[in-house]
Amino acid sequence: MAYSKTVAVLLSGWLMVLTAKAQSNQTISLANERIKVIWNSTSKGWSISQVSVRKGNQWVNVATPSGENTLLYSADKPSTKPDTTFKSITGEEFPGPKYHYQESQWAESTNPVSLNKAGQAMYFFPKEGKLTGKNSLVFRQETDVATIQTDWTFDPKFTSDILVKQTITPKKEGYFSLASPTLATLTENNLAWATIPGYFQGNRFQKNFALAYAYGHGIPTLPAVYRERCASTLCPMLTAKNGVTFAVIPEPGLARDPWATDKITQTNWNIGLSHMNRKAQLSPTLYYPILGEPKSALKVGETLSYTFRYSLIDGDWFKALNHAVYDVYRFKETLALRQSKQSLTNRIEKMHRYLTDPKTSMWNIEEFEGKKIGAQSYLGGVVGSNKDAMKNSDYGAMWMLAKATNDPALTQNVLPYALNFKLAQQETADNFFEGAVEGQYYLAKSKKFVEEWGTVVEPIGLTYYTMLDIGNMLLFEPDNAELKERLRLGADRLLTWQKPDGRWAVAYDRQSEQEVFKDIQDVRPTFYGLIVAYRLLKDPKYLAAARKGADWFLKNAIETGSFLGVCGDARYAPDFATGQSAQALLDLYDLTRDVRYREAAITAAKIYTTSIYTHPIANQSVKTVNGAQRQDWEISQTGLSFEHGGIFGSANRAGPIQLCSHAGLFIRMYGLTKEPIFADMARAGAIGRDAFVDPKTSVASYYWNAMNRGAGPYPHHAWWQIGWLTDYLLAEAELRSGGKVSFPRGFVTPKVGPHQTYGFAPGTVNGEKANLVINENIVQLDNPSIDYVLAKAVQGEKLFVILLNNRDQKSDFQITIKGQKTQTKQLPAFGMEVITVDDGLEKSKMER
């Protein structure tokens, strides 16, 4: 061995200290049974010459090794104002002046820090490196502005992970940001998948930055730094074509807590995530602290450290995601904390009362063209509204609740006027828009229907507000000839608007009838409207067109990871329509048995898991929320989904939503795939969310930041809540009973997600046909973790009480049915039992 200046060898401790001036054949390494990383001493410093992962019996190299470090420094606080503008692919400045909800978020996201242009970038390969143990080492670098030390070691629990701690000690005062060292880099040709969960996923570069950054339609070619506030799981990752995924995962607690102590801290920016390093090379990268944010301001000698891990997985991005979710961010522990104070069943019962009170539900009946139309007030943003907008939401839930309760307050006072609203909403004149809806909303003062954010007509709106709403009503009223004709009118318009390759336009301008929003593609489940048409009208041309649309969707959305949302006020930022796509494809599989649709549905559902928060780790620390004491898990975002995330979405400021429409779908996906993340995410979103429920009405708030203020400007959301809660409970019953409790599903709800309609036809309970019943006077329970579903046998007088323990521990409870003797029972964690009440006698069958 040759020496240049100093090499100390301590044989007894196997400790070797080397400087970068040693000869270039000197190496140090980290190696275990899963990972091998080798550094070489070069004239530039210590660089990585090999990163390998074991696949089976072979070692596979991970991309192009690097080892380069990056330090960002600025003597002055960087500007927070954007200095770059971007255009859409059609040449307009993006996002455009009328999208004021997005203006501030786009400005924040395109300032110099966000675009990774701020400060001075100092690149280096560390000059000093030494082994400090059998599988740990440290590197050190002196720069003009700071000393940086980086410690590397294996995680003793997870052999696929390398733990890294970086420490900076400034030599000058200023603002500092450390980037995780570049372990290795990929080229686009070697890339199979890239994702920053919550922001984008894909397998190809998108040169148009607005399309990539705002919509995730391709991988951005700029090394943008993403904020943790919409990162669902803190795990930027790349999957190479050789099947290896490498990710960088910050240590829990490093990112912001959205409610740190006694006020909202949702928009605090502690860490940055990127798919690229500062040089725009593909490499998952973490930035800490954020240049210009409070923690980045350091004085001379003031030390700052942070910890993260590299994860090198022999498998795809979904396997790596599960590792981050369960092993690092301990999602299962979060679920175990969840305890309901009010049962989900009781919420449905109480919302029934809310919705039959015109005052609390803001129910209105207005005269329109000779008919009385009914809908609920909508006080959110609608173009042209003077606080007079009206809207109905989940027609399937409306008809289901009316039938299950047989309540005249619904059957006589709500449904007829809601039906008239739907008929009035549809365009029936012989023109370009015949069959479509005139608008989602009715403005009572100006007596017209309007769309949410401009004078446009969307094919997806036709699918939602004609095909799905009318389709779900027809399931309950199959002989309604007028509804059938209106459905056919909508279906034929969808056929007319379908393009030769199977897709649809995003929207048409109502005045000119010209296609608008040409800068984005309609990667949404618009084809679902034709599935509805085929199921109800039985014409094969509708199924053929649905398949044509779905086949285009598979190629342009599922294969590429590109999806579009359905909220016009957010300029269609990707949203819950992604989850809805999974159910749409499952329903198409049920009709065709074409396995491509089933597999695509699973892929869409896996992608939708990245719309659900898995951080921070929930705990039992006490926080103050609007004057009330709450444990952290009660207000935790973990397990909740976006309305829309990404750069544009409402989750940036408002956080996630309580409308857990995907819960039933995810339970079905767990039954199909046996992937635990589906069931765990469904349950974490549904259970123990009482801190967001208005105790007076049992209606949950929509946005997380509203806490328990209730429906607020969205009273119609109560119908969606009844819809998704019913879908979730019946999906759980079917799963836990092994299919012995099963009810036919209708069509998905419009807009907000994949939950489906029930109650239009009998289901099966332990081999007997039975109809759903909702009656709060039959069953009394003393444990809110126990939910129940009622079903009455089609023949005879049997009543089935389907009990579900919705918590991760066993539950003891007392139950009284029809005033009979109270019984003491116990159910295991997420267990179920079916009690049969027959002529005053009780029989019980346990399902575990």
The pLDDT tens digits for 514-527 are 999 999 999 999 99
Q: Is residue 381's pLDDT more than 90?
A: no
Q: Which pLDDT score is estimated for 490? A: 98
Q: Which pLDDT score is estimated for 486? A: 98
Query: Could you give the CA distance from residue 23 to residue 2 in angstroms, rounded to a whole number?
Result: 7
Two tokens, residue 642:
């976006």
Q: Give the helix ranges, DSSP H, for 70-208.
A: 100-109
272-276 and 226-227: which strand pairing? antiparallel
H/E element holding 431?
Answer: none
Predicted TM-score (pTM) above 0.85: yes
Query: Could you give the CA distance from residue 152 to residue 664 in angstroms, rounded to a whole number?
Result: 43
Two tokens, residue 599:
């597999």
pLDDT digit string (tens) for 534-571?
999 999 999 999 999 999 999 999 999 999 999 988 99
Three-class SS of residue 466?
Answer: helix
Q: What is the mean pLDDT of the chain?
A: 94
Q: Which pLDDT score is estimated for 848? A: 36
Which H, E and C letters describe 257-296, residue by residue?
CCCCCCCCCCCCCCCEEEEECCCCCEEEEEEECCCCCHHH
Contacts of 673 by beta carbon, 8 Å cutoff, 6+ apart:
602
* Res. 20 pLDDT band, cuts 50 70 90: very low
- Count of residues in the chain: 848
Q: Can you tell me the mean pLDDT for 331-355?
A: 97
Query: Could you give the CA distance from residue 202 to residue 557 in angstroms, rounded to a whole number?
Result: 10
304-314 and 297-298: which strand pairing? unpaired
Question: CB-based burial of residue 43 (10 Å sphere; 0-12 exposed, 13-18 middle, 19+ buried)?
Answer: exposed
Three-point CA angle 558, 562, 568, nearest 5°: 125
Q: Can you tell me the mean pLDDT for 110-139?
A: 96
Query: Could you give the CA distance from residue 34 to residue 55 in angstroms, rounded to a whole number?
Result: 8
H/E element holding 784?
Answer: none
Buried b (16+ CB within 10 A) or exposed e, 532-570: bbbbbbeeeebbebbbbbbbbbbebbbebbbbbbbbbbb
Residue 754 backbone class (left: φ over 0; alpha: ψ -120 to 50; beta: rest): alpha
Two tokens, residue 6:
């100093």
pLDDT digit string (tens) for 263-275?
999 999 999 999 9
Q: Can you tell me the mean pLDDT for 358-378?
A: 95
Query: Could you give the CA distance from residue 758 to residue 749 in angstroms, rounded to a whole number?
Result: 11
Contacts of 162 by beta carbon, 8 Å cutoff, 6+ apart:
30, 35, 37, 152, 153, 154, 155, 309, 310, 312
Q: Give the helix ranges, DSSP H, for 612-662.
A: 632-635, 651-654
Q: Is residue 134's pLDDT more than 90?
A: no
Q: Which pLDDT score is estimated for 25? A: 55
Q: Can you tell me the mean pLDDT for 736-761?
A: 98
Q: Among candidates 191, 167, 208, 161, which has minimal Cα distance to 275?
A: 191
pLDDT digit string (tens) for 211-220?
999 999 999 9
Q: Can you tell me the mean pLDDT for 346-375?
A: 96
pLDDT digit string (tens) for 665-675?
999 999 999 99
Tokens 């009979």 label which residue? Answer: 820
Two tokens, residue 30:
């980290």
Query: Could you give the CA distance from residue 654 to residue 642 in angstroms, rounded to a whole number?
Result: 10
Query: Could you give the CA distance from residue 309 to residue 296 in angstroms, rounded to a whole number?
Result: 21
Q: Can you tell me the mean pLDDT for 283-300?
A: 98
Percentage of the chain with pLDDT > 90?
90
Query: Could you give the CA distance from residue 77 to residue 119 in angstroms, rounded to a whole number?
Result: 9
